[in-house]
Structure 1
Amino acid sequence: MAATEDAPSGLRHGTPTDAGFDSRRLANVWDLLDTWQRDGLVPGATIAIARNGVQLESRAFGSGLNSGNRSPMVPDQVFLVASVTKPVTAIAVMQLVERGLICLSDPVAQHVPEFVGPGKERIRIEHLLTHTSGLPDMLPANEALRSRQAQLPEFVREVCSCDLLFPAGTRVSYQSMGTLLAGEVVERITGRPLRQVMEEEIFLPLQMGSTALGMRQDLASRATDVNLPDEQMASRYHWNTEYWQGLGAPWGGMFSTVDDIVRLLAATLSGGALAGGRILGAATNRASISDRTEGMPGLSEQDRRKRRWGLGWRLGAWGELDSPRSFSHGGATGTLVGADPHTGLMCAVFTTQPGAPLQKAVTAVQAAVLE
């Protein structure tokens, strides 16, 4: 059964049969993650799977490291999810759109007046959420900023003065700095820190109690470090440092669990609401997971076909067996989340290993779906 805006408004726990999975094929997923852990490819992982409102028991594999102590991974382990943060920042933007406070067609400079320079007057809010702004993924001064443990206002100042890589709307090029500016717009319009907006307007309504932008003190004991090589561990700004964990980067600073993220996916599959908590209206939610790059006349045919984006979500690029309607996002720390409205499938898989081949795990999950 395909998921629609009339899908179940909550999640209940059930068996693979209840959710419409082939149990034998689903065992391939557990075997794959267990093998990765045994072979040392992935030190630790957690996974949550749901379909059509039924969530399977979440599982954990291997071990995690916290404050120098290694312990077995648990299903409610807290991970730095990196760029999985981006679609959540986009949701915060879309909440302002549906309240009439901003428009996707607004020039960014209308809300951030110091964002000036050649070509920047053409950049709209929508460009920030579809990776078509022309801004860089990371700033030329990125390493210098992080080395001196700069806070987000310094990053914003650098973005406002940096050069564009190409004119807005003419290419799709992944850009974290566009998401930084999107978060800045939210803060200026609401008068609240983005982390507070996310907590009050997204995490609380969806009962995502183990999720925060930036490390929250009560989550620290359940958090696991990212597995990094020694040369990165020597820096003062890597992912496991107090600096990065506290920064709350709109493009990659969120901490969460697989169960919490499945709640976000379920709400997005169900028209923007879950179990009485609504984060977006149905029309706004639909726009967020619809193809926004297809209608951009300045893009090449290849970009329109191969680099499809909604508002914060990548489309049709989750696993090997998803439909063109799937929406997903990965994180450089070793995370991948997504859902497919065609099958009702939702999955979040978190690991401690950057570069883990997570699309293989997702494909194994997709193969277990009974039509």
Structure 2
Amino acid sequence: MHVFPAAPRLMRRHALMLAGAATLTACAPPAQGGQPPAPDMRAVDRRLQQAVAQGEAPGVVCAIGHDRQVVHRAVYGRRAVTPAPEAMTWDTVFDMASLTKPVITAPCIMQLWEQGRFGLDDPVSRYLPQFAAAGKSTITIRHLLTHYSGLPPDLDLTRPWQGHDAAFDLTMQAAPTRPPGSGFIYSDINFITLGFVVEKLSGMALDAYATRFILAPLGLRQSRFMPPDTWSARIAPTQADEHGQMLRGRVNDPSARRMGGVAGHAGLFSTASDMCLYAQALLDRRAGRPSAYPLRADTLMLMTAPQQPQGKTDLRGLGWDIATHYSSVRGDRFPVGSFGHTGFTGTSLWLDPGSDSYVVILTSRLHPDGRGNVVRLRHDVATVAALALIPSRG
């Protein structure tokens, strides 16, 4: 175990965040005999400490996997700042935000695809007839999965609405802003729609389906929608809602929150440990190794390869980001062909099958006032982690 002191100079508003709250553990065993030495992650440590000291996020949990083991774990800063400071812990539960899309909704959809329930280029309206409204009759399931549907980024939040059925009606009436297939527009509506497709084809609520067919087979016991009150003490709060109440255990995303906490685009809560299990199971299944991941290897190869329309340069898999303006989380050293995703709350997961590596970064960067920003942190950590794991790429 390696323990590094907190950064010596702190911004005034973050002085309490780091005091006595920095812990770092490298989980790879010491080199013995012919075993390679554990990778040197000191540059990762320094960048994480700097992020907390400079207020990029109040705290951070980071995990790095390589060669089928977690080789580094880091915990810094505070889980909560207000109403009372709380130290960040390895088992902190985070609002995963848009990581719900590739981690939950996309594999749910692709399980149903494996069962022959639909074709990727089928129009969505074949399964949700109401979806044909407002010029959406030619939008396909592949368009939704790759964000090439032409739909706008969000449901209308300028007027009050509440509940699953209201969200369904708004989604069915949403109008594209450009022709499907013509360009990349990252849209929550795409995955809200896919959540409704899962429910229609399975006859189950999205959270029930995901729990039974994704989370349970993987043994992810600290991952779920709508976490119970017994988890509250471990959940990282995000920010105040429209009523001034700090969100803790209630999803930050306003559309998902209006829907009751379960949606195809957001709503999952999880921990670093569970994300490590998820990432390794995915890499193992994709590589043809024994794995509990509940999709076939060829399906995962399909999902993590470019699936955007021909000639388009924003590269998207089925649920996964490959190379778009959102891909700075890849850093400078992991190659195109690696893949991952981010979450608005400050979460991210990036995986590189070529080096059998992944990087998990979990923050609640919106806490307490919405000013945190971890875009550069994600990039920098991925870069120095890749240099440590695969130095020949340097």
TM-score (normalised: structure 1): 0.85
> Would you say 1:160 and 2:172 are equivalent positions?
yes
Aligned counterpart in structure 2 of residue 346 of structure 1, from 358, 372, 377: 358
Matched, 1:269 2:289: no
Of the three residues 113, 132, 155, the one matched with 1:97 is 113
1:35 aligns with 2:50: yes
Specify the alignment match of 1:363 in structure 2. 383
Q: Does 1:187 align with 2:199?
A: yes
The separation in 2 between residues aligned to 1:126 and 1:21, in whole angstroms, is 43
The 3-state SS of whatever aligns with 1:55 is strand
- Rounded Cα–Cα distance in structure 1 between residues aligned with 2:289 and 2:354: 19
Q: Give the structure 2 partner of residue 314 of structure 1.
A: 321
Q: Structure 1 residue 86 and structure 2 residue 101: aligned?
A: yes
1:47 aligns with 2:62: yes
* CA deviation vs aligned residue, 1:24-73 (integer Å, no higher than 9, x gap): 3x111111111221233321110111112011352211011288342110
CA separation of 1:170/1:56 partners in 2, compared to 1, >3 Å: closer, same or farther?
A: same
Q: Distance in 1 between matches of 2:37 and 2:365?
A: 28
Q: Given the alignment, which residue of 122, 130, 151 partners 2:146?
A: 130
Which residue does the alignment assign to 1:328? 340
Aligned partner of residue 389 in structure 2, secondary structure? coil
Distance 2:28 2:274 in 1: 17
Q: How many residues align?
A: 342
Distance in 1 separating the partners of 2:249 and 2:234: 16
Comparing 197-206 with 315-324, greater Cα deviation is found at: 315-324
Unaligned segments of structure 1, at least 5 residues: 1-12
Question: Deviations along 1:147-195, whole A, 9 cap, x unmatched?
Answer: x5x1232112101112111111111110110000001000111111111
Match of 2:163 among 135, 151, 154: 151
The 8 Å contact of residues 66 and 224 in structure 1, kept in 2 or not, is answered as: no
Q: What is the CA–CA distance in structure 2 between the aligned matches of 1:185 and 1:108, rounded to whole Å?
A: 8
Q: Which residue of 1 aligns with 2:183?
A: 171
Task: For residues 192-241 of structure 1, give each alpha carbon's deviation from its aligned partner in whole angstroms, at most 9, with x where no partner exists.
Answer: 11111111111111111111123334432310112x4xxx5554698547
Whichever residue aligns with residue 84 of structure 1, its letter is L
Alpha-carbon separation, structure 1, partners of 2:93 and 2:290: 23
Q: Residues of 1 paired with 2:132 and 2:217: CA distance?
A: 37
Q: Partner of 1:208 in structure 2?
A: 220
* DSSP-derived class of the 1:312 partner: coil
Q: Which residue of 2 aligns with 1:106?
A: 122
Mapped contact 1:180–1:249 kept (Cα < 8 A): yes
Coordinate RMSD, CA, aligned:
2.5
Q: Deviation string for 1:120-165 (max 9, x for gaps)?
A: 11011111100001111102x22434xx5x1232112101112111
- CA 1:118–1:126: 2 relative to 1, 3 Å: same
Q: Judging changes above 3 Å, is the alpha-carbon distance between structure 1 residues 44 and 93 closer, same or farther for their aligned structure 2 residues?
A: same
- Amino acid of the structure 2 residue aligned with 1:347: V
Letter in structure 2 aligned against 1:62: G
Q: Does 1:70 align with 2:85?
A: yes
Asked if 2 retains the 8 angstrom alpha-carbon contact of 1:79 and 1:255, the reply is yes
Change (3 A) 1:116 1:34: same
List gaps (5 residues or longer) in structure 2. 1-26, 367-372
| Whole-angstrom CA distance in 2 between matches of 1:49 and 1:187 | 34
Q: Which of 361-370 and 252-261 deviates more?
A: 361-370
Task: Work out whether residues 267 and 274 of structure 1, in 8 Å CA contact, stay in contact via their aligned partners in 2.
Answer: no
Q: Tell me whether 1:248 sits opposite 2:268 in the alignment.
A: no
Structure 2 distance, partners of 1:34, 1:96, is: 43
Calculate percent identity across the aligned residue pairs: 25
Residue 61 in 1 paired to residue 73 in 2? no
Q: Which residue of 2 aligns with 1:115?
A: 131
Between the aligned partners of 1:347 and 1:120, the Cα distance in structure 2 is 37
